[in-house]
């Protein structure tokens, strides 16, 4: 597992995460290589935790709890600002210092960051452009999965159709570009499933029969974090980065064209 570096400077590392790799280390990832361990192995983070700089006459007991929390989160997550599902490939931001980490997290919270995803889904999605705005929450009867449920958190995803495919064997498929305005877990996957257009080869929301069929021609979830735009935490300049569709997913699209 060797993520591709898309952008790097003294404050940021932006990588292209491969599919099949978990982002953060956890009890459930023992024995698995994660992006967090890869980042730690790069030794790009400060060796010792950086505490907030205090005015000369300030008592150490007056340290703000939110600043300490930021430092703990920064080192606890190895500077990884946000998450991608294990099966999803694409752009991931890593901060090299606590200040950049805090600023980028603020941008996500205030919805300054703009993200773009590509997905191939079952069915012919209509209309060609639209907004999906339904709440997403963890399913009470299956804590590992999420769904559209009453009392869930606000979730908004805008989308645009890029291409329709109508194959004799696989039926109708749609290549969709998606722009999530919120960052709920599994948001895009749940929203598309809710509309009746599950993502190709989705192991959680595609259904067992559909998954077995999909794996005959697409070996993994067809969801890719294609683009991201944010403000550089130090310079304030807009950074716009793009990740090309990986070869395995591009090959799927090529086969769909030739099979028509």
**8-39 as b/e, with b when 16 or more CB fall inside 10 Å?**
eeebbbbbbbebebbbebeeebeeeebbbbbb
Please give the full DSSP string across 158-225, using - where no structure is assigned: EEEEEEEEEETTTEEEEEEEEEESS--TTHHHHHHHHHT-PBTT-TTTS-HHHHHHHTTT--S--EEE
What is the rounded CA–CA span in Å between residue 63 and residue 168? Answer: 65
Catalytic residue among 9, 16, 85, 247: 85
For residue 221, how many other CB atoms are within 10 A of its CB? 27
Task: Report the distance separating Cα 83 and Cα 202, nearest Å.
Answer: 18
Question: Concatenated DSSP letters for 50-79?
Answer: PPPPPPTT--GGG--HHHHHHHHHHHHTTT
248, 87, 81, 90: which is closest to 178 by C-alpha? 90
**9 annotated active-site:** no
Closest CA to 191 of 101, 108, 257, 131: 131
Q: Is 42 exposed, middle or buried (0-12, 13-18, 19+ CB in 10 A)?
A: middle
Q: Is 254 exposed, middle or buried (0-12, 13-18, 19+ CB in 10 A)?
A: exposed
- Residues marked active site are found at 85
């Amino acid at each position: 597992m060797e993520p591709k570096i898309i952008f790097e400077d003294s404050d940021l590392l932006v990588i292209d995460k491969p599919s099949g790799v978990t982002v953060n280390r956890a009890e459930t990832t023992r024995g698995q290589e994660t992006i967090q361990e890869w980042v730690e192995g790069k030794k790009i983070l400060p060796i010792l935790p950086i505490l907030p700089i205090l005015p000369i006459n300030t008592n150490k007991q007056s340290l703000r709890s939110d600043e300490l929390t930021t430092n703990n989160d920064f080192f606890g997550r190895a500077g990884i600002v946000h998450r991608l599902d294990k099966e999803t490939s694409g752009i991931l931001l890593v901060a090299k210092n606590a200040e950049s980490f805090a600023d980028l997290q603020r941008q996500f919270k205030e919805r300054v960051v703009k993200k773009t995803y590509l997905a191939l889904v079952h069915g012919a999605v209509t209309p060609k452009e639209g907004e999906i705005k339904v709440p997403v929450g963890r399913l009470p009867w299956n804590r590992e999965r999420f769904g559209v449920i009453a009392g869930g958190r606000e979730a908004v995803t805008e989308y645009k159709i890029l291409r329709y495919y109508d194959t004799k064997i696989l039926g109708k498929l749609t290549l969709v570009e998606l722009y999530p305005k919120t960052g709920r877990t599994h948001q895009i996957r749940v929203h598309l499933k809710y509309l009746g257009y599950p993502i190709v080869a989705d192991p959680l929301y595609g259904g067992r029969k559909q998954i077995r069929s999909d794996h005959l021609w697409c070996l993994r979830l067809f969801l890719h974090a294609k683009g991201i735009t944010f403000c550089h935490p130090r310079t304030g300049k807009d950074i716009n980065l793009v990740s090309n569709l990986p070869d395995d997913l591009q090959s799927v699209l090529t086969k769909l064209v030739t099979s028509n």
